[in-house]
Amino acid sequence: MNLMTARTGGLALLAVVITVAPVGFSNSYFYDVAVNAMFNAILCVGLNLLIGYAGQISLGHAGFFALGAYGSGILTERYGVPAIGALVLSAAVVGVLAFVVARPILKLKGHYLAMATLGIGIIIHIVLKTESGITGGPDGMSLGNFKMLGLTIKGDQMWYWVVGFLLVLAVWLSLNLIDSPVGRALRAVHGSEVGAEVVGVDTSSYKVLVFVVSAVFASVVGSLFAHKNGFITPDIASFFHSVELVTMVVLGGMASIYGALIGAVILTLLPQVLAAVEQYEAMILGAIMMGTMIFMPKGLLPSLLASLKRRGGGQ
Amino acid sequence: MFAAFLQYLFSGLTSGAIYALAGLGFAIIYNASHVINFAQGEFIMIGGMATATMVAAGVPIYLAIPLAMVASMLVGVAMEKFAVEPARNADVVTIIIITIGASIFLRGAAQIIWDKEFHSLPAFSGETPIAVLGATLMPQSLWVFGISAIVIALLWYFFNRTMFGKAMLGTSHNRLAAQLVGVAVKKVLLASFALSALLGAVGGIVVTPITFTNYEAGIMLGLKGFSAAVLGGLGNGTGAIVGGLIVGIAEAMASGYLSSAYKDAIAFIIILFVLFFMPSGLFGKRGTDRV
């Protein structure tokens, strides 16, 4: 058996990295940052299915993330629903919402699609900000711990292992999806939508499916993030957050699950590193976004792999 | 009743005119390069901020305005040259990230060069409101209408009556054919960014006495301009103007009659509805795919 296939080797490597990384964590701050990086990684693995594999952009995914977070917050705090029930229910509602809007939206192409998804994200942001009777408005709302089967997930360390396990699970699910007939159909959609349709791929159903899957990923991560953080504000639905998520995917490498993962980790760590030069943070972030896209339009991981291949094997 | 309606209409037309100018900026760049420039709002911000801070520092306004316009154009040209041109053949998503990166960069720079405070300009011709049929109109709104109309007329003249303008239009219809008949396509690209930046700056300058400006003011203005351009049909100049006015008026009516909290959501709700039924906007051409 070849351990170095993307499927088994990569997954095993990821599991090893997650298990070994805490050796270098000297305090709970490291765990906290790592958990956030993994949250983003799960979200980006889902979003990458849509952007990288189906070739559809979404500038509104922070909206789905926020709906998951607020769904959990509202259901657990105001209606006493158990955390896991709130998570599932929120994800189901987000899934249905995504399903309903997906058909008309995914008919749109390129910039029109960007506009429509952006619009949905901004509308969700404004609703969360305005309906303060339910959401707490711009001041945000607090949540309790995530309890399940008599077990309470709390503390950065415990969250680390839970989210680490979920990340491996998310990557495994995505790898399976991509290697299935669905994945092949998606890649055909990305290559040429009309071409795919001509050879009998029901392109719109596949696009809807992957849109719903990525929205549900976002919602679940949103719910967990809300419990982990204990406090959420409407700004998690902001346009800027959506942009950040898309940037993670594109920076790491579109159509590469591990690329999206690496992009998520880098962009989560970046503000921590740049904290020392806080004033220049926005300029540096902007410059990195432009620079990577200009010099490595395929993203970090695919570009690095390509240059390694060239050096090693010679083309 | 009617007075209130008229009041909302005035305020809607004022912001609509600015959205129209921003929308035109999107349309011009889109036509020349098929790039959506998410930094269009930052041109508006630069125009307003540069003028406001220069005037506050004692530069006479008739000098500050042209300087701010030039500054914005230089930023536009630099952006085309160093960020967009090198990525000419990249994916739509890649170029979207580049222009969003540019907008974040420019906001970061503005916050360092200037500050995070709100800045204003004195109104160009006093603040005495004009009474019109029971509603009041600020003189600055007249400046906004007048200058937008002049800019639109000049643009029409440029694209329909001058050689270079026609060359730009030609490039938007068919890049290769334009190149074959001797159009310097690269210059057209540079010019499109310069022109869009100029439009943005003009919008930013005339509206600053009404709305004030700060380093983040470009975000929403840019997104509304994008809505205007998409609503009218990407790349369609008339469409962008109509789209801008529709967005502006709908917003003002919604915040007057429904809820001011949802004012900013209106543009996007309209956009979603229009796109659901007319996927290429109001005046857009139906696209066809080549396999």
The H or E element containing residue B136 is strand B135-137
Residues in A touching B223 (Cβ below 8 Å): 118, 122, 239
Distance of CA A206 to the CA centre of its chain: 19
Calculate the alpha carbon distances from B262 to A209, A255, B155, B245 in Å. 31, 37, 33, 18
Q: Could you tell me the sign of the dihedral formed by the alpha carbons of A14, A20, A24, A25, in that order? A: positive
* 3-class SS of residue B291: coil
DSSP states of B154-213: HHHHHHHHSHHHHHHHHHHH-HHHHHHTT--HHHHHHHHHHHHHHHHHHHHHHHHHHH-B
Average pLDDT for chain A: 86
Q: B132 - beta bridge partners?
A: B135
Average of per-residue pLDDT across B218-235: 89
Tokens of A40: 């983003």
Q: CB A297 to CB B219 under 8 A? A: no
- Pairing assessment for the beta strands A231-232 and A141-142 based on DSSP bridges: antiparallel
> Which residue does chain A place closest to B226, by CA atoms?
A115
Contacts of A104 in chain B (CB under 8 A): 275-276
Confidence of residue B286 (pLDDT cuts 50, 70, 90): low
> For chain A, what are the domain ranges?
28-312
Record the tokens describing residue B269, joined without a space: 């709700």
Dihedral sign for Cα atoms in the order A198, A204, A210, A213:
negative
Interface probe, candidates A57, A123, A203, chain B, greatest B C-beta count within 10 A: A123
Residue B5 CB contacts under 8 Å (≥ 6 apart), including other chains: none
The one-letter amino acid at A34: A
Token digits of residue A313 = 């094997």
Residues B37-67: tens digit of each pLDDT = 999 999 999 999 999 999 999 999 999 999 9
> Highest mean pLDDT range out of A48-52, A96-100, A172-176, B130-134?
A96-100
Q: Determine the residue type at B164.
A: F
Q: Nearest Cα to B206, choosing from B156, B149, B250, B153?
A: B149
Alpha carbon B60 to its chain's center: 25
Residue B14: the pLDDT is 93
What angle do helix axes A203-229 and A61-79 make, rounded to 10 degrees?
50
Q: Residue A3: is its pLDDT beyond 50?
A: no
The answer to whether position B155 is within a domain reads yes
Q: What pLDDT, on a 0 to 100 scale, did the predictor assign at position A271?
A: 84
- A195 and B234 within 8 Å at the Cβ level: the answer is no
Within 8 A of B262 by CB-CB distance, chain A residues are: 126, 130
Distance between CA atoms of residues A242 and A91, nearest Å: 18
How many domains is chain B partitioned into structurally? 1
User: What is the ipTM metric for this complex?
Assistant: 0.87
pLDDT winner (highest mean) among A294-303, B43-52, B226-235: B43-52
CA A140 to chain centre: 22
Per-residue DSSP letter, B37: -
Rounded to an integer, what distance in angstroms lies between the CA atom of residue A275 and that of residue A286? Answer: 15
Classify residue B248: in a domain, yes or no: no
Per the CB < 8 A criterion, the answer to whether A90 and A214 are in contact is: no
Lowest mean pLDDT among A192-201, A286-295, B64-73: A192-201
**Cβ separation of A286 and B265 shorter than 8 Å?**
no
> What's the domain range around B196?
2-216
Report CB contact under 8 Å: B106, A111.
Answer: no
d(CA B168, CA B7): 39
Class of domain A28-312: mainly alpha
Q: Chain B residue closest to A55 (CA)?
A: B93
The DSSP code sequence of chain A is: --TTSTTHHHHHHHHHHHHHGGGG--SHHHHHHHHHHHHHHHHHHHHHIIIIIS----S-HHHHHHHHHHHHHHHHHHH---HHHHHHHHHHHHHHHHHHHHHHHHTS-HHHHHHHHHHHHHHHHHHHHH-HHHH-GGG-EE---EEETTEEE-SHHHHHHHHHHHHHHHHHHHHHHHHSHHHHHHHHHHH-HHHHHHTT--HHHHHHHHHHHHHHHHHHHHHHHHHHHSEE-GGGGSHHHHHHHHHHHHHH-TT-HHHHHHHHHHHHHHHHHHGGGGGGHHHHHHHHHHHHHHH-TT-HHHHHHHHHHHHHT--
Which residue from B107, B268, B280 is facing A123, i.e. has the nearest CB? B268
Closest among A173, A174, A168 to A18, alpha carbons compared:
A168
Residue A23 has a pLDDT of 84
Q: What is the pLDDT of residues A176-210, one digit of tens each?
A: 888 888 788 877 777 777 777 777 777 778 888 88
The reply to whether residue B95 touches residue A293, judged by beta carbons under 8 angstroms, is: yes
**What pLDDT is recorded for position B285?**
67
B238 in any annotated domain: no
What residues in A contact B91, CB-CB < 8 Å?
254, 297
Are A119 and B279 inside 8 Å of each other by CB? Answer: no
